[in-house]
Structure 1
């Protein structure tokens, strides 16, 4: 039996996934089934784009439910007391400045399940996070990104 992937995340991140899962199971799934019923009433299913669209949405919803169930089942909660306050670790906020004179940026390092760059949360699997993990305030770090290489200095960990 293959070993299932563990999804490191904060308690808040797990709760957010559980809420999305509940919404999909209790609301969205029922809406899609109703769309399929209505589309079936339009007749010939071979030329029914409404039916095809509803079935595609159903496949997406069921796939997302399966993914979320797996993530929640295999979640490893990152506890505050497990975090070293002097180094960049999962669950920490890190502020860094791109060298030589870039603006300061702050991100929270989270597990891939809760990553949301638009909300300032980057995955521990991302090139930036991988480069910053284990480093301390004052460290200068070379980060290899798909867009090229950049050098950053860690300003604050909180």
Structure 2
């Protein structure tokens, strides 16, 4: 029986580590504790929240006009690398996707306000509108 080389052993160990890490990440993402994020106060906006059909702990959908800009957010299904960071949630400003990411502590950041974490995707959309100061949100190329 041929002996296994050090290179093959290290390659196999690396592959197992990556597979185990990916599985642990998937398990931890599906077992994330439900929070009250997304159940913020619903007064003072012109949109309508959908409270059905979303995952427990997942923010509810929204569609509103904030400071003259239409902001929308909704849970997403399906794959794609850039959707994984958004925790299965998409946000749009005037129809252009605002890339958002959910942090480990449950807060959200966007590509526009990356250093100012907020509690919900709606707050991330509003912060982006504030930061844009009337400028158009340009599409962000996915890798």
Q: Do they fold alike, i.e. is TM over 0.5?
A: no
TM-score using structure 1 length: 0.34
Larger radius of gyration: 1
Q: Which has the higher contact order (CA 8 A, sep 6+)?
A: 1
TM-score (norm 2): 0.37
Q: Whose strand proportion is higher, 1 or 2?
A: 1
More helix by share: 1
